[in-house]
Amino acid sequence: MTRYVRLWRELLGLSARRLPVLTAVMAGALILNTIVPAAAALALRATVDASVRHSVRAAVTGAVGVGLVYCLTIVLGNTIGMMRILLVERIGLTELDSGIIAGIYGIEGLGHLERTDYLDRVTVLRNAAWGVMDSAWGAIQSLSSAAQLGLTLLLLGSVSPWLLLLLAFAAAPLWFDQRGRLGVARAETDSAEEFRLQRHLFEMATSAAAGKEIRVTGSAAALAARQAAAWDSAIARRARAQVVAALWRTLGWLVFAAGFAGGLGLVVYRAAHGHGTIGDVVLTITVANSLRTAVYATVTRSTETAGYRRLLDPFLWLRSYAERERAHPHATRPAPDRLSSGISLSDLSYTYPGRSRPAVSGVTVRLPAGSVVAIVGEYGSGKTTLVKLLCKFYRPSSGAILIDGDDLGSLDTADWRLRLSAAFQDFGRYHTTFREVVGLGDVASLNGHASADAHRAIMRSVRAADAVELVEGLPDGLSTQLGSELGGIELSEGQWQKTALARACMRPAPVLFVLDEPTASLDAPSEHAIFAHYMARAQAIGREAGAITIIISHRFSTVAGADLILVMDSGRVIESGSHDSLLALGGRYAELHGIQAAAYAP
Tell which residue, 134, 182, 170, 183, has the closest CA to residue 298.
170
Strand-pairing partners, residue 423, are: 515
Question: d(Cα 552, Cα 383) in Å, to the nearest integer?
Answer: 7
Question: d(Cα 249, Cα 523) in Å, to the nearest integer?
Answer: 65
pLDDT at 196: 82
CA-to-CA dists, residue 487 to 212, 438, 472, 531, 534, angstroms: 21, 19, 20, 33, 33
List, for the chain, all residue ranges whose pLDDT scores fall below the cut of 70.
Answer: 44-45, 47-54, 56, 59, 102-103, 105, 156, 159-160, 163-164, 167, 208-209, 212, 217, 264, 267-268, 271-272, 274-293, 296, 327-329, 445-450, 519-528, 599-602
User: With contact defined as beta carbons under 8 Å apart, do 118 and 124 qualify?
Assistant: no
Tell which residue, 187, 192, 203, has the closest CA to residue 116.
192
Starting at the earlier edge strand, list the strands of the sheet with 512-516. Answer: 420-423, 512-516, 548-552, 372-377, 564-569, 572-577
Residues belonging to the chain: 602
Distant-in-sequence, close-in-space partners of 533: CB < 8 Å, separation ≥ 6: 463, 464, 465, 466
pLDDT at 40: 72
pLDDT at 471: 92
pLDDT at 219: 78
Tell which residue, 308, 291, 184, 158, has the closest CA to residue 239.
184
